[in-house]
Amino acid sequence: MRYAPIDKALFKHNRACFVDMLKPASMAAFNSNDIMPTNADGTMPFRQNNDLFYLSGIDQEESILLIFPDFHDNTYQEVLFLKETNENIAIWEGHKYTKDEAYQTSGIKTVLWISQFEQVFNTLMAEAKHVYLNANEHIRAVVEVETRDSRFTKWCQGKYPLHQYERVAPLMSNLRAIKSSVEIELMQHACNITEKGFRRILDFVKPGVTEYEIEAEFIHEFIRNRSKGFAYQPIIASGANACVLHYIANNEVCKDGEIILFDVGAEYGNYNADMSRAIPVNGRFSSRQKAVYNAVLRVMRGAMEMLRPGNTVATYHHEVGLLMQSELVELGLLDKTDIKNQDPKMPVYKKYFMHGTSHHLGLDVHDIGNVYRKMEKGMVFTVEPGIYIREESLGIRLENNVVLTEDGLEDLMANIPLEAEEIESLMNR
């Protein structure tokens, strides 16, 4: 792995917290993700299943984790199964975990080869009453391919139809929503790499550069700092492209007088950063561009004041909407008549600000976490208001990543330039 080794104490702690949530006589199974095909013999880059990584730190395909805390033989209360390597695999694919390396990574003492899985699983199932199986239950997930988890569920329920099956996803959603200090350090590192990329492009951007050249500058800086690359498909959107919320073509020339909207983030150790910024191509905001920029910045700061333990996402988003409504009136985009006649189910501010302000962040960019749960210390959120004026070919979104504390928050991106004047100064030094 490119990232520095993560202390196995993190994964041992995560497993201990997970075990506390299980019913008596329960076993839980976690599968690695597949290596997904493209065409011919091509494959996509491997990305580990985040629940398996969270509980073990194992970052390799064809891995299975079993947790059975009540099994009478403590040798099999935690078992990790790995792909057994050989000389041919070593020549063609490279190094795979040894059993000792897997222990040093995960803290799991019983490490077996995947060829032993069915025999051991059958022994454990004879004693298990509840079986926790995993699935992607994210409320925004669109899953059109059969995953390793779904194949395993079919196989397991077919072979052992009389067991009591449980959903592991709600437990992981509850557990992963609160970040430990080690996780926050990893996310801070991802944010710091993102900062380096942003400062690099402030020196690079000028009229005539292309969006894809800017993307190349980001990826160069990310990889040279031990990141695998972008945490998600980057948005480098100049001019009218900034009004397309998920613009990823990144193929246009950046013109004098335009604003470029960036939505990019580095990953580090499978943890993600998620940053949005908007900068002038020529290094100077026009008066109108700066007015819109500062309106978004005020909403961002107001939103940060509302991100507190005890608040709820629904209440928070409603209050942020009222802040945005006031700013849009000041900008001349809305008036009191618009507001008076609006449909409460579709507020008029959504014409210019049509997405949510915050989402959970962690191993997933849109991390798992129950949106109906009250905010708590240790949760990590994005804060990302935006104003998109299609008739002016102007889109501005500003986004930082913050950790909720006992009575406020810690901004993981406090060191990334944000003020319009600072951005102008850095671009014209």
Q: Encoding tokens for residue 102?
A: 């897997």
pLDDT of the residue at 105: 98
What is the per-residue DSSP string for 128-197?
A: -SEEEE-----TT----S--HHHHHHHHHHHH-TTSEEEESHHHHHHHHTSPPHHHHHHHHHHHHHHHHH
CATH class of 181-427: alpha beta
Whether the Cβ atoms of residue 295 and residue 301 lie closer than 8 Å to each other: no
Digits of tens for pLDDT over the chain (429 positions)?
899 999 999 999 999 999 999 999 999 999 999 999 999 999 999 999 999 999 999 999 999 999 999 999 999 999 999 999 888 888 888 999 999 999 999 999 999 999 999 999 999 999 999 999 999 989 888 888 999 999 999 999 999 999 999 999 999 999 999 999 999 999 999 999 999 999 999 999 999 999 999 999 999 999 999 999 999 999 999 999 999 999 999 999 999 999 999 999 999 999 999 999 999 999 999 999 999 999 999 999 999 999 999 999 999 999 999 999 999 999 999 999 999 999 988 999 999 999 999 999 999 999 999 999 999 999 999 999 999 999 999 999 999 999 999 989 999 999 999 999 999 999 999
In the 8-state DSSP scheme, what is residue 234? Answer: -
pLDDT of the residue at 87: 86
The CATH homologous superfamily of the domain defined by 9-176: Creatinase/prolidase N-terminal domain (3.40.350.10)
**CA-wise closest residue to 217 among 258, 153, 264, 159:** 264
pLDDT of the residue at 352: 98
pLDDT of the residue at 281: 98
Q: Could you tell me the residue ranges of all domains in the chain?
A: 9-176, 181-427
Buried b (16+ CB within 10 A) or exposed e, 236-259: bbbbbbbbeeebbebebebeeebb
* Rounded Cα–Cα distance for residues 222 and 359 (Å): 23
Query: How does strand 78-82 pair with strand 110-113?
Result: parallel
Q: Encoding tokens for residue 178?
A: 């609160």
Whether the Cβ atoms of residue 3 and residue 105 lie closer than 8 Å to each other: no
